[in-house]
């Protein structure tokens, strides 16, 4: 088996019969759909309610998220929080998840170094994301980085060329509008360097565009509901 290959056939067989967020969260804790569960401390499933109009999809949990079991609680999460505030998005009303639910990493002494998930991990974990999209059925999905975009849209694309565009929702959430932006950790890597402020502002602008689409979709939904 080549390095990066998942050793298991995917998460499908661990999905519960009833798709509710609590049933999915509880079933995912037992998932052995690829080998990433073995070296992780916790699964990091998601944060947020099924009623959320906006879903943010990241790559995978990091070194801080893994022991805490919550998404976006480390330094990239702090940067995301700042950007959400500037974009006037209430994190409490957003559904936050990742394309891959366990932390892929390797050891370097006592440190655990992040490894990007391979395509095989994105595919193995996809049944969870698909089920979340089905349950939440968000008006807007924001893909944070290339891994998330690949997981949601099912194909590789360039973040630089895709920012600012609207994509059709995936089959499980066909009415959703999908936007693509950078991952907050990519902005974080520029901290203290030239280009940080510009990268942060662009990230906020991308979130604002998604927030406007989400507000428009909510207004349309309310007017249809009378
Ligand atoms: S990364 Fe996804 S598919 Fe792999 S074990 Fe974890 S939950 Fe299952």
CB–CB of 139/97 below 8 Å?
Answer: no
| 177 assigned to some structural domain | yes
CATH classification of the domain holding 17: 3.40.470.10
| 109 assigned to some structural domain | yes
Q: Which of 61, 69, 122, 125 to probe ligand 1 with, by most ligand atoms within 8 A of CB?
A: 125
- Measured in Å, residue 170 CA sits from the centre of ligand 1 at 21
| 1 assigned to some structural domain | no
**Host domain of residue 40:** 7-225
Ligand 1 atom with minimal separation from the 34 CA:
4
> pLDDT by residue (tens digit) across 114-143?
999 999 999 999 999 999 999 999 999 999
- Measured in Å, residue 149 CA sits from the centre of ligand 1 at 18
Report the domain count for the chain.
Answer: 1
| 111 assigned to some structural domain | yes
Tokens of 162: 């895709």
Give dist(CA 194, CA 93) in Å, integer.
Answer: 33
Tokens of 194: 């030239």
| 22 assigned to some structural domain | yes
- Measured in Å, residue 60 CA sits from the centre of ligand 1 at 10
pLDDT at 164: 87
Ligand 1 pocket member 34 (CB < 6 A): yes
* pTM, two decimal places: 0.94
- Measured in Å, residue 59 CA sits from the centre of ligand 1 at 13
Give yes or no for residue 226 having a pLDDT over 80. Answer: no
Calculated CA dihedral for residues 188, 208, 129, 74, nearest 10 degrees: 30
Calculate the average pLDDT of the chain. Answer: 93
Ligand 1 pocket member 95 (CB < 6 A): no
> pLDDT by residue (tens digit) across 68-104?
999 999 999 999 999 999 999 999 999 999 999 999 9
Q: Which of 35, 36, 103 to probe ligand 1 with, by most ligand atoms within 8 A of CB?
A: 36
Ligand 1 atom with minimal separation from the 60 CA:
1
CB–CB of 157/145 below 8 Å?
Answer: no
- Measured in Å, residue 38 CA sits from the centre of ligand 1 at 10
Ligand 1 pocket member 125 (CB < 6 A): yes
Tokens of 214: 């989400």
| 2 assigned to some structural domain | no
* pLDDT tier for residue 221 given thresholds of 50, 70 and 90: low
Ligand 1 pocket member 117 (CB < 6 A): no
Give dist(CA 152, CA 170) in Å, integer.
Answer: 7
Give yes or no for residue 5 having a pLDDT over 50. Answer: no
> pLDDT by residue (tens digit) across 138-184?
999 999 999 999 999 999 999 999 998 999 999 999 999 999 999 99
| 117 assigned to some structural domain | yes
Secondary structure of the chain: what % helix, strand, coil (to 5)? Answer: 45, 15, 45
Contacts of 216 (CB under 8 A, 6+ apart): none
Give yes or no for residue 223 having a pLDDT over 80. Answer: no
pLDDT at 8: 56
The 3-class SS string of 154-192 reads CCCCCHHHHCCCCEECCCCCCCCEEEEECCHHHHHCCCC
Ligand 1 atom with minimal separation from the 40 CA:
6
pLDDT at 3: 42
- Segment 211-225 shows an average pLDDT of 74
């Amino acid at each position: 088996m080549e390095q990066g290959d998942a050793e298991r056939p995917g998460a499908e067989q661990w999905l519960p019969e009833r798709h509710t967020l609590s049933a999915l969260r509880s079933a995912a804790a037992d998932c052995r759909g690829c080998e990433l569960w073995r070296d992780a401390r916790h699964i990091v499933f998601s944060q947020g309610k099924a009623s959320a109009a906006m879903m943010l999809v990241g790559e995978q949990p990091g070194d801080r998220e893994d022991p805490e079991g919550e998404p976006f609680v480390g330094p990239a999460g702090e940067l995301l929080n700042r950007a959400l505030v500037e974009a006037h998005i209430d994190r409490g009303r957003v559904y936050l998840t990742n394309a891959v639910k366990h932390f892929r990493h390797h050891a370097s002494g006592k440190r655990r170094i992040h490894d990007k998930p391979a395509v095989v991990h994105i595919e193995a974990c996809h049944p969870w994301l698909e089920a979340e999209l089905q349950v939440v059925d968000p008006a807007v999905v924001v893909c944070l980085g290339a891994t998330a975009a690949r997981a949601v849209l099912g194909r590789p694309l360039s973040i630089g060329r895709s920012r600012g565009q609207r994509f059709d929702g995936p089959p499980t959430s066909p009415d959703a509008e999908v936007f693509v932006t950078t991952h907050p950790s990519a902005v974080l890597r520029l901290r203290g360097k030239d280009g940080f402020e510009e990268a942060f502002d662009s990230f906020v602008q991308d979130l604002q565009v998604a927030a406007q689409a989400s507000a428009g979709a909510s207004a349309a939904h309310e007017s249809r509901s009378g």
